[in-house]
Amino acid sequence: MIERAYDVAQELSRAGEGPDGSEFHLGDCQEIARSLKEKYAGKVSLIYLDPPFQTGKKFEVRVRVGENEWKTGKGSLALEGYSDDLPRNEYLEMMKNVLTSAKALLKSDGLIFVHIDYRIHPYIRILMDEIFGESNFINEIIWSYHTGGCAKKHFPRKHDVILLYSKTKNYDLHLEDIAEPNPDGRVNHMKKHVDADGRVYRSIRSGGRTYTYYDDDPVIPGDVWDNMSHLQQKDPQRTGYDTQKPLRLLERIVKCASRPGDIVMDLFAGSGTTLEAAANNGRRFIGADLNPLSMQTSHRRLNNAHCLYKFAPFQGEPEVSARAERGVAFTRVELQKFMIEPGMSQRKFDGLDGVDAWAVGYLKNGLFHSFEREVRTHAKPRLTGKIEVPVYEGELMMRITDVFGRYFFYHISVDEIV
Ligand SMILES: C[S@@+](CC[C@H](N)C(=O)[O-])C[C@H]1O[C@@H](n2cnc3c(N)ncnc32)[C@H](O)[C@@H]1O
């Protein structure tokens, strides 16, 4: 027997390994950044922000529905992502509020990267000079890519801008950690030699000293990043979230601007790229976004990370049935039915097709601790509808995430002792 729990507003996912203390907040970044100051002021090492660019567009999230779409990779449901259409003055007011809180959240040696494009670059540069101080400007990084259309009335636009500022002069940027072998070798005017092992090097004499550089030595990237492209349509990293950035871009930022155990923050988390880059590199992360599909997409990507998810309880009345049986040391829950309520979509959902993921665990002090979960993936497109958890303290509970990104919680009572 199950009963809907309407007031659960937080879930702790404790899966796999990784540092404790990561969080995802669903809501407006201005309010979240303001409220996070109470606990995290002066504690965050790196903040990356990839806000809307004032494109005037409506962005979509394409979600796969049911076993067949996950298995074949064909078909998806296009859902409303976010509308990038705030009037300029409201947009700049939002950015001012977020950047002001971001400064307070940063550690004294912390760094902030703000990812924008030609549309808002001049406004944000001035805003950041005002908030962080002109003298704390470090770099204007150009992320150059080859994708994007052709143009006849202007040069095709093939780059984004990432502004890098510090909080103080004493910042922690360790570029040696992102040095990469240069695939083209060094091309310059220095004299070329080959050493006894066949390695090519260049040398130059200056001020009475000889400087030697090997062609295959790793080099620190300059401020034009042109060796990582936008995700292609068929890239396996693609989550269906419009405007998703490549993981490699975020890994570069995370590695040079934070250290293991540090807190990395992204207040426009989108598909969760920054959070995944942080988790992959042993950093704690704090993410926020106002779109439930961002929480769902991030949760799916962070399935193996410890994370506290905070949100307002979701509206909606799907039809659900489940049963539970208890053994000596375990409880087995079977999800029998999940029907999305009429009016949500024209689409028909068969069986458990409306379920994107579900989890079973225990409710303790208003917090759902998720123990075991099933998530649809390309590798495992089918949900078995059966989850076993160890018998534990707290109230047995189940969470279902539907394809619209809504999280529903249910108290479960045991129907049978086996
Ligand atoms: C450009 S996307 C971020 C993409 C992300 N970097 C990625 O790799 O997937 C911008 C995100 O900002 C979110 N957003 C827009 N306005 C917001 C606000 N006021 N508070 C929180 N999130 C907001 C949108 O929902 C969207 O997910």
Do 240 and 345 share a domain, yes or no?
no
Do 161 and 200 share a domain, yes or no?
no
Rounded to the nearest whole angstrom, what is the distance from the C-alpha of residue 53 to the centroid of ligand 1? 10
Q: Is any atom of ligand 1 closer than 6 Å to the C-beta of 86?
A: no
3-state secondary structure 284-309: EEEEEECCHHHHHHHHHHCCCCCEEE
Does residue 36 sit within a domain? yes
Q: Whose CA is nearest to atom 12 of ligand 1?
A: 268
Q: From 268, 290, 310, give the residue whose CB has the most ligand 1 atoms within 8 Å, as the site to mutate.
A: 268
d(CA 210, CA 45) in angstroms, rounded, equals 39
Do 42 and 167 share a domain, yes or no?
yes
Q: Is any atom of ligand 1 closer than 6 Å to the C-beta of 271?
A: yes
Do 56 and 126 share a domain, yes or no?
yes
Rounded to the nearest whole angstrom, what is the distance from the C-alpha of residue 238 to the centroid of ligand 1? 16
Q: Whose CA is nearest to atom 19 of ligand 1?
A: 28
d(CA 340, CA 401) in angstroms, rounded, equals 11
Q: From 34, 55, 231, 243, give the residue whose CB has the most ligand 1 atoms within 8 Å, as the site to mutate.
A: 243
Do 170 and 187 share a domain, yes or no?
no
Do 210 and 242 share a domain, yes or no?
no
Does residue 10 sit within a domain? no
Domain-ending residue, one of 305, 329, 355: 305
SS3 136: helix
pLDDT at 184 over 80: no
Domain of residue 326, CATH code: 2.60.40
Pairing of strands 44-49, 263-266: parallel
Do 26 and 63 share a domain, yes or no?
yes
Does residue 12 sit within a domain? no
Q: Is any atom of ligand 1 closer than 6 Å to the C-beta of 276?
A: no
Rounded to the nearest whole angstrom, what is the distance from the C-alpha of residue 263 to the centroid of ligand 1? 19
Q: Is any atom of ligand 1 closer than 6 Å to the C-beta of 31?
A: no
Rg for the chain (alpha carbons), in Å? 24
Does residue 2 sit within a domain? no
Do 198 and 329 share a domain, yes or no?
no
Complex ipTM more than 0.90, yes or no: yes
CA distances (Å), 416 to each of 99, 126, 324, in order? 55, 65, 7
Domain-ending residue, one of 305, 330, 363: 305
Domain total for the chain? 3
* Domain of residue 369, residue span: 319-417
Does residue 297 sit within a domain? yes
Tokens found for residue 190? 């220095």
Q: Is any atom of ligand 1 closer than 6 Å to the C-beta of 291?
A: yes
Instruction: Please state, for a pLDDT cut of 70, what percent of the chain lies above it.
Output: 97
* Segment 81-140, tens digit of pLDDT: 999 999 999 999 999 999 999 999 999 999 999 999 999 999 999 999 999 999 999 999
Do 284 and 192 share a domain, yes or no?
no
* Segment 331-372, tens digit of pLDDT: 999 999 999 999 999 888 999 999 999 999 999 999 999 999
Do 159 and 89 share a domain, yes or no?
yes
SS3 174: coil
